[in-house]
Amino acid sequence: MADGRADRTATPSGIAVPRPTSRDVARAAGVSQATVSLVLGGKWRGRVSERTADAVRDAARELGYRPNLAARNLRLGRTRTALLVVPALTNEFFARVYTGAASVAAERGFGVVVYPAPDVHERARDPFGSARAALDGVIASSMATEVLGALHSSGLPLVMLDSDPADNTAAAQINVDIADGMRRVAGHLLALGHRRFLHLAASVRSWTFDVRARALAETLAAAPGASVRTVRTDLAVAPARAAAETALGGPDPLPTAIICDSDMIAAGACKAVRRRGLRVPDHVSVTGFDDLTLATALEPELTTVALPAERVGERGMTALIAAIDGGAPPVGDLPVRLVTRGSTAPPPGR
């Protein structure tokens, strides 16, 4: 039934009882049904006070109210379904992005379908062929490079995560301040006295990793006596360990600090240092990027950049719903934090 009319649901005893309606929510919150509709439809900003919106949400939560999405979607000609395209849900960062997106989607009456993009060595499948009619929009990570062509040609509202701000083909872009994160890492190590660096860079070609490399190079170029050697590796522990072992065993002077594009790469670097008979951070400091659970599972715990993954998902879904409903997307990069732990110390001799 429509939101304002009585519906019924069965209790565990099998007795049908009326389902709470928007009229019940309005009565409990002391507002009109129109106000309830604005708040629960996400269109209240500028029309309803924050206090009133909170009262409506609290009343809906206490009553167990759920809007009749089927009826509303039929009226709007929409499915209220979003597609989230990520490189892999096995990566904790993207699992947390999904958590943030799903929480906002649930509040706004949306469903989220996840499409893990295929490995870069596989041929990408078009996720839109049969599902296009069942979707209202797409949120995609720029790391899902293999399906970006299909995304841009889908005709659906598109929100890009971690993407080049100069790319204006998407309805909105949600970025974290990646450059600031890398500058903080480099500044921390320079302040400790490090001048000889190894950059274990992700071999994935995407905007986010290009930004890290550029910010690191610019920061170190401004530091007298600093030098950096870059070695590329896949985003996994085993290849990162192999790449770091090769770099540490070469003819070049041993770096005093290894700066890694991700915590997974940093875990591999730590293993490589130990295999060389050295200690972290006594002989070589190591830093990561992401602040995954892995960062505190390592010993010593990893100095890394904490990225607000859930907030990325929340903002991405908020921006997509704004694009669908004709609203303004959120603006501004999300801030990052440098988390200093035991894997960094002054270089030997300091």
Mean pLDDT of 163-176: 87
* Residue 42 and residue 321 in contact, taking contact as beta carbons nearer than 8 Å: yes
The pLDDT tens digits for 276-301 are: 999 999 999 999 999 999 999 999 99
| pLDDT at site 18 | 65
Give the Cα separation of 58 and 42 in Å (integer).
Answer: 15
User: What pLDDT was estimated at residue 211?
Assistant: 96
In this prediction, residue 170 carries a pLDDT of 84
Helix (H), strand (E), coil (C) string for 260-298: ECCHHHHHHHHHHHHHCCCCCCCCCEEECCECCCHHHHC
The CATH T-level fold of domain 178-307 is Rossmann fold (3.40.50)
Asked whether 165 and 179 are in contact (CB, 8 A), the reply is: no
Write the secondary structure of 213-227 as one string of H (helix), E (strand) and C (coil): HHHHHHHHHCCCCCE
What is the per-residue pLDDT for 100? Answer: 95
Q: Do domains 77-175+309-334 and 178-307 have the same CATH topology?
A: yes
Q: In the prediction, which pLDDT does 67 show? A: 64
In the predicted model, what is the mean pLDDT of the chain?
A: 85
Measured between alpha carbons, how far is 51 from 73 in angstroms, rounded to an integer? Answer: 28
Taking alpha carbons only, the member of 331, 321, 260, 319 closest to residue 294 is: 260
pLDDT, position 190? 98
Q: What is the mean pLDDT of residues 320-332?
A: 87
Domain ranges of the chain: 7-60, 77-175+309-334, 178-307
According to CATH, the topology of domain 7-60 is: 434 Repressor (Amino-terminal Domain) (1.10.260)
pLDDT of amino acid 125: 53
* pLDDT tens figures, 215-249: 999 999 999 999 999 999 999 999 999 999 999 99
Mean pLDDT highest for which of 134-138, 148-152, 219-223? 219-223
Radius of gyration of the chain (CA): 25
Sign (positive or negative) of CA dihedral 165, 166, 170, 172: positive
Structure tokens at 336: 């990052």
- For the residues 25-53, what does the mean pLDDT come to? 85
When mean pLDDT is compared across 76-80, 150-154, 207-211, 267-271, the lowest value belongs to 76-80
The CATH architecture one would assign to domain 77-175+309-334 is 3-Layer(aba) Sandwich (3.40)
